[in-house]
Amino acid sequence: MAKSEQDLNGLRPAKIKEILDSLRDNPDVLKAVTGPWKSRVVWQKGFKAKAYMRQHAVQMDEPEGLDAQDSAASAHEQLLSAMGSCLTVGFVLNATLRGVQIHDLEIALEGNFDNILKWAGHSKEGNPGYPTVKAKCFVRADASDAVLREIWKAAVDGSPVVQTVARPTNIVTEFEQVGA
């Protein structure tokens, strides 16, 4: 089951452990990892927007049904993807720390809006967002079912993105009109 310390799941377990330990032992590292994490979203045209994060950029759009061009996934889909990606990172991290070789890993997520009429301006009540998000993990790995379930639980409990979504988050908004 356990592989050598050289390389596991495309990672170096010893290096990962060293980084995690430095997070605990070195306040500067902890501060850097804690944040702030940033994204800047710039409107393009129609419902298109582009998000810039460090040196990366991600395009967003809306489906054609909304008179958009459907040139990219929409923000609410990318939220699901962000949750799935974060769970993937957590799963791989915890598996690697336990010495578990993963062969395939896939997470299928889905959610239904509670009251999208609020987004559309037809309703003042309720939640326009997902009241529930389902996330199913499929994995093929060299470990027992019990161990893999423990790893999955650790990934869910420790996921910054999932836990942000799962609990009330204080969203501080500001507004500024430019050039008025």
Three-state secondary structure call for residue 130: coil
Residue 138 CB, shortest distance to other proteins, in Å, is: 3
> N- to C-terminal Cα distance for the chain?
65
- Which residue has tokens 């008025």? 180
If we measure between CA atoms, which residue out of 51, 49, 81 comes closest to residue 62?
Answer: 49
Q: Is 140 in the site for other proteins (CB under 8 A)?
A: yes
Segment interacting with other proteins, rule: CB under 8 A, options 7-15, 23-31, 106-114, 147-155: 106-114
Indicate the residue among 81 and 163 with the shorter CB distance to other proteins: 81
Indicate the residue among 103 and 122 with the shorter CB distance to other proteins: 103
Angle of helix 13-25 versus helix 75-97 axis, rounded to 10: 100
In the numeric block, which tokens belong to residue 154?
A: 């650790």
Applying the rule CB under 8 A, the residues between 64 and 103 that interact with other proteins are: 103
Binding site for other proteins (CB under 8 A): 103-104, 106, 108, 110, 138, 140
